[in-house]
Amino acid sequence: MIKRRSFSKIYFGWWINLVTAILTGLGSGFYSLGSSVLFKPIAAELSLSRAATSVASGTGTLCNGLTFGVTGWLSDKFGPKWVMIAGICTVTTGLVLMNFIDSAWTYYLVWGVMIASGSTLAFTVAVDKMLTDWFISKRGLAFGIRFAIIGIMGVILLPVVSWLSVTQGWRMTCLIWSGVVFAGVPLVLYFVRQRRPEYYGLLPDGAKVESGLEAGIDGMIAKGMEYAAGFQETEFTLRQAMRTPAYWILTVGWIFRGIIFQGFNVHCIPFLTDMGIAPIVAGSMMATMVFFTIPSRFFSGIIADRVQKKHLKFLPVGVFICMAVGITTFLLHPTVATVYIFLILFGFGEGVYTPVDIVIRGRYFGRKAYGSIQGSSVIISAPVTFLAPICVGWVYDVTGSYITAFTVFLAMAVFAAFIMFLLRAPRPPAQVDDIRRFV
2 domain residue, yes or no: no
Side chain identity, residue 243: R
CA-wise closest residue to 151 among 342, 337, 300:
300
CB atoms within 10 A of CB 287: 22
Tell me the helix, strand and coil percentages in the chain, rounded to 5. Answer: 80, 0, 20
CB 421 within 8 A of CB 313: yes
CB 383 within 8 A of CB 54: no
CATH assignment of the domain containing 328: 1.20.1250.20
7 domain residue, yes or no: no
Which residues span the domain enclosing 363? 12-437
53 domain residue, yes or no: yes
What is the spatial distance between Cα 113 and Cα 99, in angstroms, rounded to a whole number?
A: 16
What is the spatial distance between Cα 197 and Cα 142, in angstroms, rounded to a whole number?
A: 15
Which pTM value belongs to this model?
Answer: 0.73
Instruction: Give the number of domains in the chain.
Output: 1
CA-wise closest residue to 366 among 121, 129, 155:
129
pLDDT at 172: 94
pLDDT at 8: 56
Tally the residues of the chain: 439
What is the distance in angstroms between the CA of the first residue and the CA of the last residue of the chain?
A: 47
164 domain residue, yes or no: yes
Radius of gyration of the chain (CA): 21
6 domain residue, yes or no: no
Residue 426: phi and psi, rounded to 5, are -75, 155
CB 379 within 8 A of CB 68: yes
Count CA atoms within 13 Å of residue 411 on its CB side: 5
Side chain identity, residue 433: D
Side chain identity, residue 246: A
CB 63 within 8 A of CB 90: no
DSSP string, 124-193: SHHHHHHHHHH-STTHHHHHHHHHHHHHHHHHHHHHHHHHHHHHH-HHHHHHHHHHHHHTTHHHHHHH--
DSSP-derived 3-state class of residue 196: coil
- Give per-10-residue mean pLDDT for the chain (439 aa): 51 93 90 82 88 80 78 84 94 94 91 90 89 88 89 85 90 94 94 87 80 62 73 80 93 91 84 86 84 86 84 91 93 89 89 86 84 84 81 89 92 94 86 42
pLDDT at 435: 39
- Those residues whose C-beta lies under 8 Å from the C-beta of residue 370, and which sit 6 or more positions away, are 72, 76, 128, 129, 132, 133, 361, 362
Alpha helices in 197-292 (DSSP H): 217-229, 238-242, 245-274, 279-291
3 domain residue, yes or no: no
Distances in Å between the alpha carbon of 382 and those of 91, 94, 129, 417? 20, 21, 20, 20
CB 300 within 8 A of CB 347: no
175 domain residue, yes or no: yes
What is the spatial distance between Cα 318 and Cα 418, in angstroms, rounded to a whole number?
A: 10
1 domain residue, yes or no: no
Cα–Cα–Cα angle for 57, 376, 372, rounded to 5 degrees: 120
CA-wise closest residue to 359 among 292, 423, 408:
423
Residue 409: phi and psi, rounded to 5, are -60, -40
Count CA atoms within 13 Å of residue 265 on its CB side: 23
